[in-house]
Structure 1
Amino acid sequence: MKVVYEAANLIDAHLVRHALEAEEIPVFLQGEALLGGMGELPLFGTILVCVPDVVWPEARDIVAALPLNQPPAAADAVDDLPDGLPA
């Protein structure tokens, strides 16, 4: 197994997992059970999305194409306001 993505949180990990499984790539989430552990375990950055070595290049390309950790596209704020409201 090789790490294809280090998730910032549980939601990111599952988004990547579902994208890979949609392409029939088997996925293992390493560290999912440790999330929120106390003591010396960190609360974030512990979930690794792993795939078999054979499909790692394909999985890497799929993960690279995902819009992860990107801010939403900024809409034109003036166009979204009702008439008569200042921007």
Structure 2
Amino acid sequence: MKVVYEAANLIDAHLVRHALEAQEIPVFLKGEALLGGMGELPLFGTILVCVPDVVWPEASEIVASLPLNEPPADTAGEGDDLPDGPEWLPA
């Protein structure tokens, strides 16, 4: 097994896992059970997404195409149905 992605958190690890499994690539999450353990274990950065050596090149291309750790697109003013002005106050 080779590491194809080192996840910053559990959500990223599962996003990558589901993307790879959708392409019928078997995935193993190394360190998932240790997440949040007490004592010497770190709370973040312990999950490695691993795939078999044979499919690593294909898996790495899939992971590279995923929008991980990218800021959301700036959609200011697009589809904004909220009224502007003093009559609108956030809750």
* TM-score (structure 1 length as normaliser): 0.90
Q: Which amino acid aligns with 1:61?
A: E
- Distance (whole Å) between structure 1 residues aligned to residue 78 and residue 21 of structure 2: 40
List gaps (5 residues or longer) in structure 2: 87-91
Equivalence map 1:4-83=2 (5 Å): 4-77=4-77, 80=80, 82-83=82-83
Say if 1:52 and 1:76 are closer, same or farther in 2 by CA, change over 3 A: same
* TM-score (structure 2 length as normaliser): 0.86
Q: How far did 1:23 drift?
A: 0.3
Relative to its length, the structure with more helix (as a share) is 1
Give the aligned length: 86
Say if 1:47 and 1:84 are closer, same or farther in 2 by CA, change over 3 A: closer
Q: CA RMSD in A?
A: 1.7
- Distance (whole Å) between structure 1 residues aligned to residue 34 and residue 59 of structure 2: 24
Q: How far did 1:83 drift?
A: 4.5
Q: How far did 1:80 drift?
A: 2.6
